[in-house]
């Protein structure tokens, strides 16, 4: 009797263990089967993505064993899709740039050769010959300016541009820059209003890059705005310095305003046919590479204002 009582519980325990083992095996098999199905699904999805369908996603429940892998793959595919979009944009921009280069360089080059040939072959003589030579000289300078802009744009976009950032006194630097523009304003019959505070303003900048920013913004006014008045103002804000260049010219329409800093974008109302369409894009890149920001606001025939801001340099303490 005692022996039977001992063996029966032992039998039950063994039976429970056996049943549990069978159930565990079945569950493991089911999970393995589900994982296999999910891996097949992942493989098919990746094949589809490899064929160019980057919109595919691998679906998975949070409880799935492969969920983390699926989510990571989806993130990689999303990032890959964004890179493809950017590459296509770059390809389109480069194509536009080559078209622009062909037109903006070949056309004036053909004209330049025509003027020089006429002068050299004696087709024009005397004062007219001198006029042809002077016209050819001016066209050559226009081409050089255009090539310089292209070269600067390529350097910025290939990260070959090097910056020497140091603490500068921005008020005096801006004052010295604008001195050279005053004769040009007067020669173009452009009234000007310059406001720069006497207080020292310390900012961490590359002086050459800042010079190009200011010069490009002012040249944009002279070349494209048809303004009669330009206003340049330096102001101190809480933690930034603001440099504003404003004019009363043709301005920029509302539909063009969001695109003025895009590469090769030429506003019909704001720019003449002359120009590379790269100047303001270069300005934006220079500003942002030095930790600043640039914005524009415009009311046609009233005021167009480009606003550049840089953070003030922190005061050094002993």
Last residue of a domain, one of 157, 182, 206: 157
Report whether 35 contacts 65 (CB < 8 A): yes
- Per-residue pLDDT, 317: 44
Range of the domain at 231: 167-311
88 domain-assigned: no
Shared-domain flag, residues 128 and 242: no
* Per-residue model confidence as pLDDT tens digits over 151-183: 777 777 777 678 889 999 999 999 999 999 999
46 domain-assigned: yes
- pLDDT over threshold 80, residue 92: no
Q: What 3-state class would DSSP assign to 235?
A: strand
Q: What percent of the chain has pLDDT over 90?
A: 36
pTM: 0.62
75 domain-assigned: yes
Shared-domain flag, residues 56 and 129: no
The percent helix, strand, coil of the chain (3-state, each to 5) is: 60, 15, 30
Shared-domain flag, residues 151 and 233: no
- What is the average pLDDT value for the chain, to the nearest integer? 82
288 domain-assigned: yes
Domain count of the chain? Answer: 3
* Per-residue model confidence as pLDDT tens digits over 123-156: 988 999 999 999 888 888 878 877 787 777 777 7
Handedness of CA 79, 81, 87, 93 (dihedral sign): negative
Shared-domain flag, residues 266 and 214: yes
Shared-domain flag, residues 268 and 300: yes
* Over residues 88-109, mean pLDDT: 70
92 domain-assigned: no
Per-residue CA distances from 134 to 106, 109, 126, 150, 158 (Å): 19, 15, 13, 25, 36
- pLDDT over threshold 90, residue 110: no
- pLDDT over threshold 80, residue 281: yes
Please give the Cα distance from 46 to 42 (Å, whole number).
6
Reported confidence tier of residue 79, pLDDT bands at 50, 70, 90: confident
Report phi then psi at 266, rounded to 5: -120, 120
Reported confidence tier of residue 318, pLDDT bands at 50, 70, 90: very low
Concatenate the DSSP letters of all residues of 113-174 into one string. HHHHHHHHTTSS-HHHHHHHHHHHHHHHHHHHHHHHHHHHHHHHHTT------EEEEHHHHH
Report whether 240 contacts 201 (CB < 8 A): no
The angle at the Cα of 135, spanning 134 to 137, to the nearest 5 degrees, equals 65
Shared-domain flag, residues 34 and 113: no
Do the bridges between strand 229-236 and strand 240-247 make them parallel or antiparallel, or are there none, so unpaired? antiparallel
- Per-residue pLDDT, 315: 61
Q: Which of 33-37, 41-45, 65-69, 84-88 has the lowest mean pLDDT?
A: 33-37
Shared-domain flag, residues 204 and 75: no
Shared-domain flag, residues 184 and 306: yes
318 domain-assigned: no
Shared-domain flag, residues 137 and 199: no
Short-list 107, 124, 106, CA closest to 115: 124
Longest dimension (CA), the chain: 140
Higher pLDDT, 278 or 132: 132
Shared-domain flag, residues 217 and 296: yes
Give 25's contacts (C-beta < 8 A, 6+ positions apart): none
Last residue of a domain, one of 157, 175, 203: 157
* Size of the chain, expressed as the number of residues it contains: 318
Shared-domain flag, residues 216 and 253: yes
162 domain-assigned: no
Q: Which helix (H) or strand (E) holds 210?
A: helix 207-220
Shared-domain flag, residues 305 and 173: yes
Last residue of a domain, one of 82, 110, 140: 82
CATH assignment at residue 186: 3.30.565.10
């Amino acid at each position: 009797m005692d022996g039977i009582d001992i063996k029966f519980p032992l039998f039950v325990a063994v039976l429970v263990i056996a049943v549990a083992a069978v159930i565990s095996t079945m569950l493991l098999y089911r999970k393995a089967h589900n994982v296999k199905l999910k891996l097949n699904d992942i493989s098919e999805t990746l094949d589809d993505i490899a064929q160019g369908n980057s919109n595919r996603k691998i679906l998975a429940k949070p409880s799935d064993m492969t969920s983390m892998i699926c989510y990571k793959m989806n993130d990689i595919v999303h990032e890959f899709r964004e890179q493809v979009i950017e590459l296509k944009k770059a390809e389109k921009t480069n194509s536009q740039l080559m078209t622009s280069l062909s037109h903006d360089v070949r056309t004036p080059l053909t004209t330049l050769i025509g003027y020089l040939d006429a002068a050299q072959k004696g087709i024009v003589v005397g004062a007219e010959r001198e006029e042809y030579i002077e016209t050819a000289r001016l066209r050559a300078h226009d081409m050089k300016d255009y090539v310089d802009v292209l070269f600067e744009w390529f350097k910025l976009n290939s990260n070959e541009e090097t910056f020497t950032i140091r603490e500068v006194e921005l008020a005096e630097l801006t004052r010295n820059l604008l001195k050279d523009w005053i004769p040009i304003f007067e020669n173009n019959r452009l009234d000007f209003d310059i406001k720069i505070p006497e207080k020292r303003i310390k900012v961490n900048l590359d002086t050459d890059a800042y010079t190009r920013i200011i010069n490009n913004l002012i040249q944009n006014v002279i070349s494209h705005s048809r303004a009669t008045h330009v206003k340049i103002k330096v102001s101190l804000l809480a933690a930034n310095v603001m440099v504003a260049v404003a004019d009363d010219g043709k301005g920029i329409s509302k539909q063009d305003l969001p695109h003025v800093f895009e590469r090769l974008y030429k506003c019909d109302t704001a720019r003449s046919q002359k120009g590379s369409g790269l100047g303001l894009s270069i300005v934006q890149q220079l500003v942002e590479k030095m930790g600043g920001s640039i914005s524009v606001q415009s009311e046609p025939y009233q005021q167009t204002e480009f606003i550049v801001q840089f953070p003030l340099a922190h005061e050094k303490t002993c």
